[in-house]
Amino acid sequence: MKYIENEIKRTHLAPKKHTWSSPLGEKYSFVIPSTVYPPREDTDLLANTILNFGPGSGKKLLEIGSGTGLISIFAKSLGWDVIGCDINPLAIATSRGLAKKYNFAELKFIEGGIEPNSEVTSKIFENGPFDMILWNLPYLEKPNKNELLGPLEDASLSNIGNQKLHEILLKKIELESGLSREGVVILIHSDKGPGRKLSSECRNLGWACKSINQKILEDGEKLHATLIWKPWCFIEKIELDEVESTNTYLLESNLSTGTLVTTKNQSKGRGQRKNNWIHFKGGWCGSWLIDLENSNPQIIQAKAALAIIESIAAINGDELPTFDYFSMAKFLENNISIKWPNDILLEDKKIAGILCEAKTTGTKTKCVIGIGCNLRDETGMIESKLPNTTSLENFKLISNEEWTRVLHASIASKFEKQNGIHVNEDSKIINYWWLSMEKFNKTHFITIDSKKYQIKGLLADGGINLISTDNNLNSERKCDVSYNLKWEKILFN
C-alpha cells in the first residue's frame, strides 16, 4: 500500500517542460509528469541509430519502455509501423497525447511490458512478430535530484530477481516468436554496471550482437547501441558423424554463406603450412562459409581468433575481451592468449587453431573458416603425446553443444552482414588482435633462417613487423603467414 501511496504522491509534483530535437531537425515541445522518464542523451543515441537503418517501409517496430513516446513518434515518421509500450500508465497517457499533438494519432501505445514469468504471455508480442524491437534499457544512472522518478519508473531501473532484463527479453522473444526471422533487437546500455556484460550474456544465449553506435557523455560514461540478432537465421547447421575435412566439405559444396558444418570425427584435418590437425576424442571441429568481401586473409583470421576468445569469455561469464581495453586486460589474466597468426593458447599451450582457405571457380570465390578446439582430453592422449598442447577443460569444462551455440554466435557477430552496420572495423580488429597476443610476444621470440626476432607490432594488413635481437643489428623485417616461423621462449636469468 505504501508503494502505491508513494506513486500517488509523485503525481502531485509539478510537471516539467521539455524540448527535444530529432536527428532530422524536427523540434518537439511538451510538458510531462515527474514520474515519466525524460529525453536524455540515450534518447538521441537511439534516434540516430534508427535513422541509420533508413526508411521503415511499413516494417513492424516495437519500442519497449517508450516513456514520452518520442522515439516511437520519430520511428513512425521514418515509415515504420510502430507500437510502443510502457509499464507506467502516465507514460502511456503522455505518449498518446504527444502522438495526437504531432499528427500521429493512429500510433498505438499499450500499457505493459515483458512478463518475467515464462508461463505468462506478454501482450506486447500479440501484434508481432516484429522486424525491430527497441529498448532503452534502464541501466543508466538515475536522473538528477530534481528529476526524481516515482516508484513505477524507479522499479524499472533494476533487474527482476537474478535475471537480467535483456536475458528475460531474448528468452521471451524466442518463447513467443516475437521477432521475424530477419528481425533485430537494438538495446541501449551503458559501459558501466550490468551493461558491461550484456554482449557476453547475449552470446551465451546463442544471439549474435555488435555495438553499432556509441555516445560518450561528459563524465566519460559511454552509451552503446547494441544490435542483436539470430545468427544466419535462414541457414541450417550441418552435423556430420565423420568427414575428411570440414573445410574441404564446404569448399566443394554449393551451400549458402553462413553454413556451419561440424563433425564428430575429422580424419584428415589440416592446419597452417600443411600441418596436420589431429582430432582427439573430446575435440571440436567446424567450418563456416563466409563472404570474402574486401578483407584480406589476415583480417579474417584476426576476426576468427577474437571470436574464439570472446566465446571462452562468454561461457565463463566474463565481459567480452573486445568490449574495451580494460576487459581485454582482465581476460588475459586467465593466461589465455593468441599466438600470431592462428593459434589460441592456454598457459602457452595450444588449445585451438584456425585455418582460412579460399577457392575460386570462374569469377566466384568461396572462403571458409575452419576452427579446431580441444575442449576436453577424454582419453588423456593430448597431454601424453603433445607436450605443447592442452585442452580447454583445464580452464573450464565446456560441452560441444554449448561451444557450438556460443562460437556460432560469435563468428556471426564478426562476419554476418546486417543492415545498420556501416563502419569498417579493420583497424579496431587489428588493435584488439595485437592486445590479445602482446603478453605472449613479450616472453617469446621468432626464428627465421637462424636469425632471432622479436615482434615490434602489427601492420595494417595483419602482418607483423619484426626487429632483430642481434646486438650488432637493429634491422626491421616485415613478415606474413607465408614465412616458416619457429617460436622460442625467452629464458630470463
* Beta-strand runs (E) in 246-308: 260-263, 283-290
- Cα–Cα distance for residue pair 470/473, rounded to 1 Å: 5
- The residue type of 414 is K
- Cα–Cα distance for residue pair 90/96, rounded to 1 Å: 10
Residue 115: C-alpha distances to residues 123, 124, 132, 165, 206 (Å): 9, 9, 19, 10, 21
3-state helix, strand, coil in the chain (%, to 5): 30, 30, 40
φ, ψ for residue 484, nearest 5 deg: -90, 100
393: cell is 577443460
At residue 447, the pLDDT reads 87
333: cell is 589474466
Place of cell 584488439: 432
Q: Buried (b) or exposed (e) across 339-355, using 16+ Cβ within 10 A?
A: bbbbbbbbebbbbbbbb
CB-facing half-sphere around the CA of 222: CA atoms within 13 A: 11
Q: What is the DSSP string of 376-395?
A: --TTSHHHHH-TTB--GGGT
Residue 79: C-alpha distances to residues 46, 84, 422, 444 (Å): 16, 15, 21, 57
CB-facing half-sphere around the CA of 253: CA atoms within 13 A: 20
Angle between helices 325-332 and 426-441 (to 10 degrees): 30
CB 199 within 8 A of CB 214: no
Q: Give the model confidence (pLDDT) of 264-322 as tens digits.
A: 998 876 655 556 666 778 899 999 999 877 678 889 999 999 999 999 999 999 999 99
Residue 155: C-alpha distances to residues 150, 187, 222, 415 (Å): 8, 19, 23, 38
CB 420 within 8 A of CB 212: yes
Place of cell 607436450: 387
CB 124 within 8 A of CB 85: yes
φ, ψ for residue 110, nearest 5 deg: -125, 145
299: cell is 583480417
94: cell is 503522455
Q: Residue 209's closest CA among 354, 412, 29, 484?
A: 412
Q: Residue 91's closest CA among 57, 65, 63?
A: 65
Distance of CA 421 to the CA centre of its chain: 12
- Where is 229: in which H helix or E strand? strand 222-229
- Cα–Cα distance for residue pair 406/373, rounded to 1 Å: 13
- Cα–Cα distance for residue pair 337/320, rounded to 1 Å: 14
- Cα–Cα distance for residue pair 135/187, rounded to 1 Å: 5
- Cα–Cα distance for residue pair 185/174, rounded to 1 Å: 12
CB neighbour list of residue 115: distance below 8 Å, 6 or more residues apart: 121, 122, 172
CA angle at 258 for the pair 256 and 261, rounded to the nearest 5°? 90
CB 395 within 8 A of CB 346: yes
Q: Residue 444's closest CA among 470, 469, 474?
A: 469
Which residues of the chain fall short of a pLDDT of 50? 1-4, 140-158
CB 288 within 8 A of CB 259: yes
Strands 336-339 and 60-64: unpaired
At residue 460, the pLDDT reads 84
Strands 343-346 and 336-339: antiparallel
CB 310 within 8 A of CB 417: no
